[in-house]
């Protein structure tokens, strides 16, 4: 039975000044410098005092499928390399929960019109937003232009999220004069100067608001999967397994992966019988195969300016 919204599947997160731990740190086994736990007990603690600030992250309940994440306010604000950012931990735990329940994360754009829903997985800076804008100008509805979740039953869920864009999007949209200037300045800093994005962040565009009359579609059943690639191979029909391998490679490169999270890796050291990290990609691949059995799957290899036209001809 499908959830009404995949976002209902998530860890319980609490950010407080103080955290009640299940035991004293002195009673725990320590791995690395700051990770504490008890072997085969369903928790791990990252514990560190920096001057007068307590940097604590507490994770439990992952094996049971009911994860709880607690963190001090300092840990929530400061992404330290030893434990990573709190947002990465939350995203990683939620990704594991959702994949186990049949929801796959995609680094992709997605549009829908008259029962045709096109999912367009691609690596960063390949042309997802540019291609989504093409379809919005053709009357398609918006689901995503950066990332989104799709159920194994084939339903894509809208994720309206602003994306970093370059000046080439001006070919597809008409921004006000001041916004055009901001876009050009931010593009110059991000592309021409080393470390330019530390001076000015890239220009963020809400694609669904940039095209007059465009609308966000909350949920739609995917009919076509068109993997975008900058190249000269043209349009290639893909088998289910080949498409799954392409998409998983894109996800590895583009999306946060649970096995990259230091807190989850430490949790796994204290709970070696938990196979969540080891099994994650196997489960993802199995779910991809199930999803792609019900869609038409293609590789679209061209310049970003031609993606939209090639896909449109393919659909016709």
Among 152, 155, 298, CA closest to 239 = 298
Q: 25-79: per-residue pLDDT in tens?
A: 989 999 989 999 999 999 999 999 988 889 999 999 999 999 999 999 999 998 9
Place of tokens 């489960």: 283
Return the H-helix or E-strand segment holding 264: helix 262-270
List the beta strands (DSSP E) in the chain.
Answer: 12-16, 29-31, 35-37, 43-50, 53-60, 68-72, 103-106, 108-113, 116-121, 141-144, 148-151, 155-157, 163-165, 203-205, 219-221, 224-230, 234-237, 296-302
The answer to whether the pTM exceeds 0.75 is yes
Q: What percent of the chain has pLDDT over 90?
A: 83
pLDDT band at 237 (very low <50, low <70, confident <90, very high): very high
pLDDT at 198 over 70: no
pLDDT at 2 over 70: no
Q: How far apart are CA 104 and CA 160, in angstroms?
A: 17
Take residue 132 and report the two structure tokens written for it.
Answer: 């989504």
pLDDT at 202 over 90: no
pLDDT at 199 over 80: no
Q: How far apart are CA 121 and CA 300, in angstroms?
A: 10
Compute the mean pLDDT over every residue in the chain, rounded to the nearest whole number. Answer: 93
Among 114, 113, 115, 119, CA closest to 300 = 119
Q: What is the pLDDT of residue 200?
A: 75
Q: At what angle do helices 128-136 and 304-315 cross, to 10 degrees?
A: 50
Q: 272-307: per-residue pLDDT in tens?
A: 999 999 999 999 999 999 999 999 999 999 999 999
pLDDT band at 171 (very low <50, low <70, confident <90, very high): very high
Parallel/antiparallel/unpaired status of strands 29-31 and 35-37: antiparallel
Q: 58-69: per-residue pLDDT in tens?
A: 999 999 999 999
Q: How far apart are CA 145 and CA 127, in angstroms?
A: 9
Q: What percent of the chain has pLDDT over 70?
A: 96
pLDDT at 270 over 80: yes
In the chain the domains, ranked by start, together with CATH numbers, are 6-103+256-270 (no CATH), 104-255+289-315 (3.40.50)
């Amino acid at each position: 039975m499908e959830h009404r919204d995949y976002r209902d599947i998530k860890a319980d997160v609490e950010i407080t000044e103080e955290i009640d731990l299940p035991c004293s740190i002195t009673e725990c086994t320590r791995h690395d410098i700051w990770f504490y736990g008890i072997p085969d007990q369903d928790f791990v603690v990252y514990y560190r005092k920096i001057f007068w600030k307590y940097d604590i992250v507490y994770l439990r309940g992952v094996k049971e499928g009911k994860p709880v994440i607690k963190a001090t306010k300092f840990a929530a604000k400061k992404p330290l390399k030893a434990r990573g950012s709190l947002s990465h931990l939350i995203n990683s735990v939620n990704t594991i929960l959702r994949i186990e329940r049949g929801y796959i994360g995609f680094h992709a754009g997605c549009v829908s019109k008259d029962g045709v829903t096109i999912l367009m997985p691609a690596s960063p800076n390949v042309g997802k937003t540019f291609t989504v804008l093409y379809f919005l100008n053709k009357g398609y509805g918006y689901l995503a232009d950066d990332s989104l979740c799709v159920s194994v039953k084939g339903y894509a869920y809208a994720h309206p999220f602003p994306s970093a864009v370059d000046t080439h999007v001006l070919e597809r949209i008409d921004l006000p004069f001041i916004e055009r200037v901001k876009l050009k300045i931010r593009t110059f800093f991000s592309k021409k100067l080393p470390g330019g994005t530390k001076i000015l962040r890239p220009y963020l565009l809400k694609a669904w608001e940039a095209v007059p009359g465009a609308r966000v579609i909350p949920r739609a059943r995917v009919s076509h999967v068109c993997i975008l690639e900058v190249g000269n191979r043209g349009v290639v029909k893909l088998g289910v397994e080949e498409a799954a391998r392409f998409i998983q490679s894109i996800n590895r490169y583009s999306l946060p992966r649970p096995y990259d999270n230091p807190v989850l890796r430490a949790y796994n050291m204290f709970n070696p019988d938990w196979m969540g990290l080891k099994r994650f990609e196997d489960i993802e691949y199995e779910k991809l195969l199930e999803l792609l059995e019900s869609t038409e799957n293609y590789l679209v290899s061209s310049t970003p300016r031609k993606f939209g036209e090639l896909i449109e001809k393919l659909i016709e």
